[in-house]
Structure 1
């Protein structure tokens, strides 16, 4: 039975080298990607890790991306290494330069935690995700959005800073989709029910759970 491309392939589209299943490309152990999530880059998909910015080992923060996400070219993630102390009288990170300035080294630098992208999330071209942001399952991030706050499941956000444009479905359907979690099904079950998943009839989806 044909169940689509294996999640272990790098290039799921024949003769197409700009789109990759991201899990098979990333090398940084602090970037965790689910099966079938793809990244499309106009120039070179190896740009992805270069677009995960200020991701320093000493911070220990993770970028966690779920399954079946669609990530467009030039999407960038700013990680916690970019943070400065805003409670000081100065924004300047004097202690990191040493040579006597290390006397002001704080016990901790600001850290907003891991950046977590849910499942079946679409992130549009040149969007920017700030540190510690959580994006819920099924959300859509518009092109060139700057995401500074958590994004609720199955919502569409856009702008700078990104704001809610609309919910994709009524609340009762969103709640049911979050319970069904089709992305966690075995791939054989997903394949059998693709016409329902690629539709908008909640009764039909409910009938195959």
Structure 2
């Protein structure tokens, strides 16, 4: 049921938001010459996949967890995309491909060993990673692997239609902060 909802909602989202996606792509081309950012992430059953987002940092910026990124690397347009969470929209394609779900634990980088270990211990990798989940709604980012893995495990245990819809509604209503960039 959840996979079917993922497919329907992601397809509707991509089609309905196509003008906005094209506008952001064009602005990204002007600002950085490369509007999309691809990054290897850890998915369901610890299988790697390539996550796609709108670029918010200058090309050539090291691929690190957001909380370790340098704030000066964020472009002017990237600041707006991050604040509004519009940088996440291309992940609807990842949902269509089956790499992700709309709701699930946020996919981590292969280099985030502490978070991976915590998630393995709690069985979190049994589900597809998501664009949003309990951690994002609660404002817990990847800099706190134990708390995030606990939130992820709670989501995996309670991932039913009611939880799925609740997470989507809370996210779309602006709850949660997502990952934060460090401030120098």
Is the TM-score greater than 0.5?
no
Higher relative contact order (CA 8 A, sep 6+): 2
Give TM-score, length-normalised by structure 1.
0.28
Structure index of larger Rg? 1
